[in-house]
Structure 1
Amino acid sequence: MAVLQIGIIGLGKFGYYLGKNLVGMGHQVLGLDADPEKVRNAQNVLTQVYQLEASDKKALEQIRVADMAHVVVSVGHSMEASILISLYLKELGASKIWVKAVSTDHEKILRRIGVDEVFIPERYAAKQLAHRLANPGLIEFLPMDQQVAIKELIVEAWAGKTLRQLALTNTYGVQVIAYRLQGEKHYSYIPKADEPLRQGDFLVVVGNEKKLSDLKP
Structure 2
Amino acid sequence: MPERVKKEPERDAGVLVLGLGRFGSSIASTLDRLGRDVLAVERNEVRVAQWSGRLPLVQADATNPEALEQLGAKDFAVAVVGIGSSLEASVLVTANLVDLGTPQIWAKAVSSEHGRILERIGAHHVVYPESDAGARVAHLVSGKMLDYIEVEDDFTIVKMRPPQEMQGFTLAQSDVRRRYGVTVIGVKSPGLDFQYATPETRVASSDLIVCGGHADLLERFAARP
**Shift, 1:149, TM fit:** 4.3
2: CA distance between counterparts of 1:152 and 1:145?
A: 21
2: CA distance between counterparts of 1:16 and 1:49?
A: 11
**Shift, 1:38, TM fit:** 1.6
What's the TM-score once normalised by structure 1's chain length?
0.85
For 1:204, the equivalent position in structure 2 comes to 210
For 1:176, the equivalent position in structure 2 comes to 184
Question: Are 1:69 and 2:77 an aligned pair?
Answer: yes
The amino acid across from 2:138 in the alignment is: A
The amino acid across from 1:204 in the alignment is: V
2: CA distance between counterparts of 1:121 and 1:17?
A: 12
Percent of aligned positions with the same letter in both sequences? 31
C-alpha change, 1:146 and 1:99, in structure 2 (3 Å) is closer
1:2-34 deviations in Å (ceiling 9; x for gaps): x95110011122211111112223312100011
What's the TM-score once normalised by structure 2's chain length?
0.82
Gaps of 5+ in 2: 1-11
Gaps of 5+ in 1: none
Pairing of 1:84-163 with structure 2 (within 5 A): 84-142=92-150, 144-146=152-154, 148-154=156-162, 156-163=164-171
Question: Are 1:37 and 2:25 an aligned pair?
Answer: no
1:85-127 deviations in Å (ceiling 9; x for gaps): 1111111111111111233332222111111112222111111
SS at match of 1:193: coil
Whether contact under 8 Å (1:155, 1:201) holds in the other structure is no
Whether contact under 8 Å (2:48, 2:59) holds in the other structure is yes
The amino acid across from 1:68 in the alignment is: F
Whether contact under 8 Å (1:155, 1:198) holds in the other structure is no
Whether contact under 8 Å (1:153, 1:205) holds in the other structure is no
C-alpha change, 1:194 and 1:40, in structure 2 (3 Å) is same
Question: Are 1:58 and 2:48 an aligned pair?
Answer: no
Q: Which residue of 22, 27, 47 corresponds with 2:36?
A: 27
Whether contact under 8 Å (1:178, 1:187) holds in the other structure is no
**Shift, 1:141, TM fit:** 4.3
**Shift, 1:52, TM fit:** 0.9
**Shift, 1:187, TM fit:** 4.6
SS at match of 2:58: strand
Give the CA RMSD over aligned residues.
2.4
2: CA distance between counterparts of 1:25 and 1:189?
A: 25
1: CA distance between counterparts of 2:84 and 2:217?
A: 39
**Shift, 1:54, TM fit:** 0.9
C-alpha change, 1:73 and 1:134, in structure 2 (3 Å) is same
2: CA distance between counterparts of 1:31 and 1:133?
A: 35
1: CA distance between counterparts of 2:71 and 2:134?
A: 36
Q: Which residue of 165, 185, 191 corresponds with 2:173?
A: 165
